[in-house]
Structure 1
Amino acid sequence: MSIDFTVAIRTYNAEKRLPEVLDRLLAQVDTEGIRWEVLVVDNNSTDQTAAVVAEYAQQWRSDSQLRCVSEPKQGSAFARDRAMQDAASESLVGFLDDDNFPAENWVAEAYRFGLAHPQAGAYGSNIYAKLDAPPPPEFHQIKFLLAVEERGAVPFRYTTRGMAPNGPGCVIRKQAWQEAVPKNRRLKGRDETWKVMIANAEDIEIMLYIQSSQWEVWHNPGMEVWHHLPPKRFERSYLLRLAQSGGLAAHSCRYAKLQPWQRPLMPLFTPLYVLLSGWRVGVYYLQNRHDLATDLAKACLFQYQWNVLLSSFQTPRVSASKD
């Protein structure tokens, strides 16, 4: 049986987190006529993640299928490549992480939007925060670091260069990926151990490559996802590291959003990026230097901008995402 839609879940040591995601997918509605599957990509877990998937597979819903593949290379970019490679759908692949909880109609909305917009190479969800406790007061200033974005109730095409949907809950057309996304990219993604540090914007890099091609990138408000943020995600040390790795991704994302003919000219553009980033970080520091030790949001934003500047000098080399 051919598959219309693949839900790909990247997971790492998620034996406790993954069941709620799978429960949300078990409860999907309005999927009549959609041939779909759930593909769990185990990104080198050392816990019982694979066993959890195997247990769920024994009682999975009859109109879908659940399976698990392994990706030993650490980093979410490698896991995404594995998902796209092994997805049974030759058309649409929707991506969730193991802490992303989709609405009960997410599969239906994702699939039907793709049918209605055949030129959409990728499209994203509204992403809400699922919190265990009230967020810090500065949450609204730094929620972009935590992949939380609510971009409205009206669908729109991303036409501003550099703007793109976040990875949680996004859908990518396999043909667009094959045509626009290089196999060898710079950003590998981050794992929960922080051993893979550069950077946590590998999903944005992919979106920008698609946006810079002949394909369109859209926002689909019909797709809704809740990103679970436990209290540890608001610890100062965690947020500062997140800001650091996000800032270090900036130069790679600049490269991805250039037109293909412009990319060989990147060394000529780099001094301008350095000057602009240096000016921004200098102004921000002068304006906020007295608050950086006490104001978490300002400290994170300074860390982010400082590492945007550093990214021009510390951009990782292009490395193979696949064997």
Structure 2
Amino acid sequence: MDITVAIPTYKGSHRLPALFTALQHQTGTQGIQWEILVVDNNSPDHTAAVIQHWQQQWANQGFTPPLRYCREDRQGAAFARQRAMGEAQGDWVAFVDDDNVPALDWLGAIAAFRHQSPRLGAFSGRIKGAYAAPPPEGFDQIKGFLAIRDHGSQPCRFRAENLQLPPAACVVVRRSAWLAAVPPTPRLSGKVPGRFIQGDDYEPLLHLHKAGWEIWYTPSLCTHHHITADRFDRAYLLTLAQGCGLATYQLRSIITPPAQQPIMVVRTILGNVRRLVIHGLTYRQRIGQELVPGFLWAFYWGSVCSPFVRRDRPKNAL
């Protein structure tokens, strides 16, 4: 099997049909052996029934790639991705979130780019925003935090050592590299009720980088990320910013030698305290009034606190 399209989903019953339709109409798939695997991350809605309906519909229409389903009861996107790697049959696993819709040439672009380098461990592409409501003023400056990315018109390597990495919303990973390099139990599980710490999508890529695998960007790969109006809520965005900051030290510690980690703690705290002071003096009352100054303040504050965040240990983790 060449490619497994892996879809981690939580309460995705109303989002999955658009994604399934886009996958059903992929072009340039001749000669590609592929499958679709949906990992239901303990959804309490009708997600399983929706998938069963599509499985039956595809069987009736003679759609060739199999649509497979499994359920992961450990809450958190990181556990769903680990389950996908265990269940996948493809040499490459193309992750796509249930609120992302790939371009119709997406699968063909994956098949072409996977031969870019013998050390290619993962790659991603353009992720464009599809907005249900007009974004707030200044949103372009922070849209990368919502997995909307465009790194230009030429392929390039991500600088993983600087935490420049693609989001899991649309990332393609060499399965054998993941299984050899990524620990089975993640430090960061992803958003769960009462715990909004980000970084779960970067964690496995840092392990790949540490093991010597290359991570690339290619503009030939394109998806559209559907952003609902509630994600423009100021309170949500500030929580997101702080959650991204809280993952800073956990992520950097993956690629920091043990002997240097005490220094990394000091650098993380002092460096971001300095950012806070400069930011506060620059923007003052605008931090509480405008989106971007408030967002960056929350991110820097989360980064200051990140060395003190305990490692995720969900009750139902194996």
The reply to whether residue 4 of structure 1 matches residue 5 of structure 2 is no
Which residue number corresponds to residue 195 of structure 1? 194
Which residue number corresponds to residue 72 of structure 2? 71
TM-score normalised by structure 2 residue count: 0.94
Which residue number corresponds to residue 287 of structure 2? 292
Please report how far the alpha carbon of residue 118 of structure 1 lies from its aligned counterpart in structure 2 after TM superposition.
2.9
Name the CA shift for 1:201/1:280 in 2 (closer, same or farther; >3 Å): same
Which residue number corresponds to residue 165 of structure 2? 164
Q: What is the distance in 1 between the residues matched to 2:160 and 2:88? A: 30
Which residue number corresponds to residue 309 of structure 2? 314
Matching of residues 111-260 of structure 1 within 5 Å: 111-159=111-159, 161=161, 162-191=163-192, 194-197=193-196, 199-258=197-256
DSSP 3-state at the match of 2:134: coil
DSSP 3-state at the match of 1:245: helix
CA contact (8 A) 2:160 2:206 kept: no
Deviation digits for residues 101-120 of structure 1, max 9, x if unmatched?
Answer: 10111111112211343311
Q: What is the distance in 2 between the residues matched to 1:172 and 1:257? A: 19
DSSP 3-state at the match of 2:75: coil
Q: What is the distance in 2 between the residues matched to 1:76 and 1:233? A: 18
Q: What is the distance in 1 between the residues matched to 2:46 and 2:259? A: 45
Q: Which amino acid aligns with 1:270?
A: V
DSSP 3-state at the match of 2:96: strand
Deviation digits for residues 86-130 of structure 1, max 9, x if unmatched?
Answer: 1111x1001011101101111111122113433110111211101
Q: What is the distance in 2 between the residues matched to 1:204 and 1:282? A: 28
Deviation digits for residues 126-166 of structure 1, max 9, x if unmatched?
Answer: 11101122211211111122111111121111246221111
Q: What is the distance in 2 between the residues matched to 1:159 and 1:144? A: 16
Q: Which amino acid aligns with 1:203?
A: D
The structure 2 residue matched to 1:30, chosen from 28, 31, 41, is 28
TM-score normalised by structure 1 residue count: 0.92
Name the CA shift for 1:206/1:160 in 2 (closer, same or farther; >3 Å): closer
Deviation digits for residues 223-258 of structure 1, max 9, x if unmatched?
Answer: 101111011000011111111111111111111233
The structure 2 residue matched to 1:275, chosen from 270, 275, 283, is 270
Please report how far the alpha carbon of residue 318 of structure 1 lies from its aligned counterpart in structure 2 after TM superposition.
6.7
Aligned length: 314
Matching of residues 29-48 of structure 1 within 5 Å: 29-48=27-46
Please report how far the alpha carbon of residue 320 of structure 1 lies from its aligned counterpart in structure 2 after TM superposition.
10
Deviation digits for residues 166-203 of structure 1, max 9, x if unmatched?
Answer: 11110011111122212233111014xx4342x22211
Please report how far the alpha carbon of residue 303 of structure 1 lies from its aligned counterpart in structure 2 after TM superposition.
0.3
Q: What is the distance in 1 between the residues matched to 2:312 and 2:4? A: 31
Flag as ranges the 4+ runs of structure 1 deviating above 6 A. Answer: 318-322
Moved more, 221-230 or 113-122: 113-122
Matching of residues 104-115 of structure 1 within 5 Å: 104-115=104-115
Q: What is the distance in 2 between the residues matched to 1:320 and 1:195? A: 13
Please report how far the alpha carbon of residue 265 of structure 1 lies from its aligned counterpart in structure 2 after TM superposition.
3.2
Q: CA RMSD in A?
A: 1.8
Name the CA shift for 1:9/1:315 in 2 (closer, same or farther; >3 Å): same
Q: What is the distance in 2 between the residues matched to 1:187 and 1:321? A: 14
Q: What is the distance in 2 between the residues matched to 1:256 and 1:153? A: 30
Percent pairwise identity: 37
Q: What is the distance in 1 between the residues matched to 2:206 and 2:48? A: 32
Q: What is the distance in 2 between the residues matched to 1:100 and 1:24? A: 10
DSSP 3-state at the match of 2:212: coil
CA contact (8 A) 2:8 2:40 kept: yes
Q: What is the distance in 2 between the residues matched to 1:96 and 1:300? A: 26
Q: Which amino acid aligns with 1:254?
A: R
Please report how far the alpha carbon of residue 272 of structure 1 lies from its aligned counterpart in structure 2 after TM superposition.
2.2
Please report how far the alpha carbon of residue 45 of structure 1 lies from its aligned counterpart in structure 2 after TM superposition.
0.5
Q: What is the distance in 2 between the residues matched to 1:321 and 1:156? A: 39
Question: What stretches of structure 1 of length at least 5 have no aligned partner?
Answer: none
Please report how far the alpha carbon of residue 212 of structure 1 lies from its aligned counterpart in structure 2 after TM superposition.
2.2
Deviation digits for residues 277-313 of structure 1, max 9, x if unmatched?
Answer: 1111121122112101210111111001100010011
Name the CA shift for 1:50/1:317 in 2 (closer, same or farther; >3 Å): closer
